[in-house]
Structure 1
Amino acid sequence: MADQDKLAKVLDAVRESSRYASVAEETVRRLAESALTAARGDVGDAVKRTKRGLHEIFGAYLPSTPRYEKMLGLIREAADQEALRDALSRTMSSHASTKERLPILTEFYSAIFDRLDEPPKVVADFACGMNPLAAHWMPLGEDVLYRASDIDTRLMAFLDEALTALGVAHETSVRDLLLGPDPAPADVTFLLKTVPCIETQQREHGWDLIEAINSPVVVVSFPTKSLGQRSKGMYRTYSTNFAAHAADQPWRVEELEFGNELVYLVRK
């Protein structure tokens, strides 16, 4: 069987699963091609490897498919600021990574924006998950453009409508960071808990991405506990790795720690 025929079979098998139907086509194809190579052409094994890879970078963070229409309705129908924050918090809790940050949203973003030399006009958020909804907690000016991207097509369509409802000027796009970051410039870019996920797919690419991002300030963060809330020495591992990679760069770096998240404010 020709390689392209095998690849087509793997892609068809993966697409039969509604769990991964919203993942960007280029991401599924990239993982499937890698899986076929690792499986030495065994289609069945390649399907399992592809689904395992999709779980690691996507499924693990969304235990179930969010009810986007209901969430959007709650946001649109919120009668006051308290109701709106409650609707946003409930929505963000559907994504494991964003859920962990909910108790410290105000503290988290105040600390970051207070350290910027000047208010940003363009904010980028890569591999964003539900994080753009936290714009409601960010000290953003009225003329700020929020540019968000992720590999989840349904999520990005939802965020487009949700940010419109919130009155946040924005651009949303479906983008696989392993195929390159958005080249458009931004004053500050969020790369939150993303580098480890990229490193599991392609070594050194996550670190190279920090330098490749077209932004003078990149906010890079790492989890200090797993999704199961075990530390596993993660703070030590990530802080050591970051220091080793930053040592060869002309960056100015400030380290912050919040709850289960280690943050680096990188000025390039």
Structure 2
Amino acid sequence: MTKAITGSDIDAESLTREILSSGKYRNLGIPGATVLDLINQAALQTDDLKTVRKLVKQKMHNLVAPYLGDADYLQAQNSLNIAYGTNSPQEVRKVCLQILASHASTRERIPILSEFYSAIFEETGNPQSILDLACGLNPFSIPWMPASREIRYHAYDIIEPRIRLINHFLHLNGMPQLAETRDILVQPPTVKADVAFFFKEAHRFEQRQKGSTGTFLQSIQSKVILVSLPTINLAGSHSKLDQHRRLVYDSIGNFPWSVKEILFENEIVFCIRKGE
């Protein structure tokens, strides 16, 4: 890890340790590379340590997004153990729904869960491998995916306890434990897959680093990328559809890729095909 930013008196390593050891983040296992990237971005705007610290903390709050909710990881693990012990797919789905409901992003999708995956896999076919990029709690949707146990499911998130729970779930489901704590903006995965999910994250990428989405999507080793974005704001008070369409098409406009839209009530999916 870089100790100081070139041309600045800011000690990036010390500031990274300070932020990650704070009560807000010390138990989340967030990669140091994430904080260092935020420090470097802030240092492009100012070399004042106090201002850099403030900017980084603001970005961290938006990145971790505690206001969206989260699972109780220990309780969720215990509930999954009990559900799988019953050998009842219905009990497993019940617990997965409880986990999905604990975060706003996946909670919004629950009413259309079966319809959602039926529609997107009708478009892509049944993949043998998936990248779930900035996955959040979406892997707990696996029971609604066709031939789920045959899928090599690579999931990436910056919250380490979340990744541990996902790997435990994959293990219980008889699947390889391929979830990984990784900041995909700083270190895009190099694994090749049939399909990549990038659900409800592109707008947050742009808030973190404007103009980053297109380059990121280009780096992903999948010929089919499913980018989804909400069609309304979190409060449900106004439409975001036109704004989010512009975000996607502006991001990929320089690439010779085809796009098909799949529109749901609260979410739009852009099925992007990179071609050969």
Kept in 2: contact 1:61–1:95 (CA 8 A): no
Give the corresponding residue for 1:30: 37
Match of 1:112 among 104, 114, 120: 120
CA distance in 1, matches of 2:242, 2:158: 29
CA distance in 1, matches of 2:131, 2:98: 23
TM-score normalized with structure 2 length? 0.87
1:151-166 pair list within 5 angstroms: 151-166=158-173
Residue 248 of structure 2: SS of its match in structure 1? helix
CA distance in 2, matches of 1:109, 1:264: 14
Match of 1:92 among 93, 100, 107: 100
Instruction: Show CA shifts across 1:7-49 (max 9, x none).
Output: 3442233123232222221102211333344342223x33322
Task: Provide the identity percentage.
Answer: 29
CA distance in 2, matches of 1:61, 1:184: 31
Whether 2:188 is the aligned partner of 1:181: answer yes
The offset of 1:68, in angstroms, is: 0.9
| Partner amino acid, structure 2, of 1:41 | D
The offset of 1:220, in angstroms, is: 0.5
TM-score normalized with structure 1 length? 0.89
CA 1:263 to 1:33, structure 2 compared with 1: closer, same or farther past 3 Å? Answer: same
Give the corresponding residue for 1:68: 73
CA 1:8 to 1:170, structure 2 compared with 1: closer, same or farther past 3 Å? Answer: closer
Match of 2:175 among 165, 168, 172: 168
Tell me the number of residue pairs that the alignment of Structure 1 and Structure 2 aligns.
263
Structure 2 stretches of 5 or more lacking a match?
none
CA distance in 2, matches of 1:247, 1:34: 25
The offset of 1:95, in angstroms, is: 2.0
Match of 2:269 among 253, 257, 263: 263
Kept in 2: contact 1:126–1:150 (CA 8 A): yes
Kept in 2: contact 1:156–1:174 (CA 8 A): yes
Structure 1 stretches of 5 or more lacking a match?
none
Residue 159 of structure 1: SS of its match in structure 2? helix
Give the corresponding residue for 2:224: 217
| Partner amino acid, structure 1, of 2:101 | S
CA 1:106 to 1:215, structure 2 compared with 1: closer, same or farther past 3 Å? Answer: same
